[in-house]
């Protein structure tokens, strides 16, 4: 944490100090990531997770980055509107700044049909088997596969974009509404 973060976050609660990681299991059908759900107040992030890694990114881009949890929350008008779960090292250039701090997200994913698996064990085949046909699929040579589910029958209120490594392992998952 830099000087700027120390100054702005000095009076924030530190709920994770001395404890284990919070429950950040993803339920796709319920659109929840642990206790965080659609339109949760960002104050809940402050109370439950403490300060994000970057004050300026939170303030200017409305992104609450928690590299030690492998999660990014995006907010709009004081409400959570998107989650980005990263299970592998972040390849997005703005996140490389914290690559040394980055930990893989350790939660599980529950699919609408009841199937559940740990995030690091999720494979491309799990999404193809337990969700309906994606609205878009992009297979990039040597880069991996991206599945997009946008306003589908199983997921009528959300957009879900899932990226996989060339080996079919989950790289990251972006859920928004």
Structure tokens at 141: 């040579």
Asked whether the beta carbons of 169 and 162 are under 8 A apart, the reply is: no
Q: Write the secondary structure of the chain as one string of H (helix), E (strand) and C (coil).
A: CCHHHHHHHCCCCCCCCCCCCCCCCEECCCCEECCEECCCEHHHHHHHHCCCCCHHHHHHHCEEEECCCCEEEEEECCEEEEEEEECCCCCCHHHHHHHHHCCCCCCEEECCCCCEEEHHHCEHHHHHHHCCCCCEEEEECCCEEEEEEECCCCCCCCEEEEEECCCCEEEEEEEEC
3-state secondary structure of 81: strand
Cα–chain center distance at 57: 16
Token pair, residue 105, equals 């997200």
pLDDT tens track, the chain, 177 positions: 576 666 766 676 666 666 666 888 999 888 888 888 878 888 888 888 888 888 888 888 888 888 888 888 998 888 888 888 877 766 665 667 777 788 888 899 999 999 999 988 999 999 999 999 999 999 988 889 999 998 788 888 889 999 999 999 998 899 887
Cα separation, 38 vs 40, whole angstroms: 6
pTM above 0.85, yes or no: no
Give the pLDDT score at 29: 84
Domain ranges (residues) in the chain:
3-13+23-176
């Amino acid at each position: 944490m830099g000087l700027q973060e120390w100054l702005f976050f000095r009076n924030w609660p530190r709920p994770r100090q001395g404890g284990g990681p919070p429950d950040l299991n993803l339920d796709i059908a319920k659109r929840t990531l642990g206790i965080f759900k659609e339109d949760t107040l960002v104050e809940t992030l402050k109370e439950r997770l403490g300060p994000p890694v970057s004050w300026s990114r939170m303030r200017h881009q409305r992104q609450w980055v928690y590299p030690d949890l492998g999660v990014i929350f995006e907010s709009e008008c004081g409400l959570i509107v998107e989650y980005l779960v990263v299970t592998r090292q972040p390849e997005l250039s703005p996140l490389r700044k914290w690559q040394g701090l980055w930990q893989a997200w350790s939660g599980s994913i529950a699919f609408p049909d009841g199937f559940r698996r740990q995030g690091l064990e999720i494979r491309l085949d799990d999404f193809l088997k337990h969700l309906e046909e994606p609205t878009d699929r992009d297979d990039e040579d040597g880069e991996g596969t991206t599945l997009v589910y946008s306003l589908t029958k199983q997921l009528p209120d959300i957009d879900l974009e899932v990226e996989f490594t060339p080996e079919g392992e989950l790289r990251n998952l972006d859920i928004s509404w």
